[in-house]
A and B are shown apart, each in its own frame.
Chain A
Amino acid sequence: MKNDEIRARVLEVLARIAPELDPAELAPGENLRDQLDVDSMDFLNFVIGLHQAFGVEVPETDYRKLLTLDDCVTYLAAKVKPA
């Protein structure tokens, strides 16, 4: 899966927990929680959404690797099996 596809799918997951999300305004290198007011409950749902979308289980110890959109893409690119 290409990074652009991963990014688009991450944004879809994010949009489910933060419907106010405007992808054009999201700074890919800045903290998602700060930009979207994502709280810890939302974040758990985000992780579950990633699992459903990519088949990747994210252990709690890896949550800190998903701080930004770019982080998510990098992390998932390394985990997603090639199509």
Chain B
Amino acid sequence: MIEPHVHIAFAPRGAGLLCALFYFTKDDHVFGWFTGARAHEFPASFFMLEHYYATQETVTYRSTTNDVYGDWLVATHTSETHIDPPVPVPEPQCHELDRLQDAFAREWLFYADDPAHVSEAAALRDRELAVLPVNIRPRKLAKLATGQPVWTYSSPGSDAHVIRYLAKRWRIDYQPD
């Protein structure tokens, strides 16, 4: 059974959604997806942290686009190296990533250019919150801890080390504390 974990970071004044991420663990590997702000863009990638929960060295794989079946690269602190097909993620986990990403994005996020979400954009504006190309759905804001300048949500049992590890290797601006 898959036990998914979620991490959200949202800057209510100005920057809006900084990071939206989910991950799950299979054996000693971590699989997931993230999106977040980088300058004025919102790149999104699937990822695999191979052997993250093992004593051997972790290898970080990331999709180059928002397509789990597309091109992938190996990411380190300082470099990214494109890899040839096949996709490094096993097929069952590709399928789960694809399925979970669809549900996660639908339930947590909306895109400002989607006419179906005009009322949600208005709800954010009514609260004087930024509306950007990618946004958190207003009804999900209640889940966020709002005591700090950056509002966050981490689902129960999620591992903050995974987010910190990944944040050193992703290409979005958000860096967790």
Contact = CB atoms under 8 A, between A and B. Distances in A.
Interface of A: 16-17, 19-20, 37, 39-42, 44-45, 47-48, 51, 57
14 contacts: A39-B103, A39-B108, A40-B103, A40-B104, A41-B4, A41-B6, A41-B100, A41-B103, A41-B155, A42-B155, A44-B3, A45-B156, A48-B1, A57-B1
Interface of B: 1-6, 22, 100, 103-104, 107-108, 139-140, 142-143, 155-157
Given A16-B156, A17-B156, A41 B1 contact: no
A37 B142 contact: yes
A41 B157 contact: no
Contacts of A51: 1
A16 to B, nearest CB: 5
A19 to B, nearest CB: 8
Contacts of B108: 39
A57 B2 CA distance: 12
Top 4 A-B pairs, shortest CB-CB distance: A39-B107, A40-B103, A41-B4, A48-B3
Nearest to A57: B1
A44 B107 contact: no
Contact of A41 (B22, B139, B142): B22
A48 B4 CA distance: 10
B143 to A, nearest CB: 8
A19 B145 CA distance: 12
Contacts of B5: 41
Contacts of B155: 17, 41-42, 45
Nearest to A20: B142
A48 to B, nearest CB: 5
Contacts of A19: 156
Contacts of A39: 103, 107-108
Contacts of B100: 40-41
Contacts of B139: 37
Contact of B4 (A16, A20, A45, A57): A45
A21 to B, nearest CB: 12
Given A37-B143, A39-B108, A44-B4, 15 more contacts: A17-B156, A37-B139, A40-B103, A41-B6, A41-B100, A41-B103, A41-B104, A41-B155, A42-B155, A44-B2, A45-B4, A45-B155, A45-B156, A45-B157, A48-B3
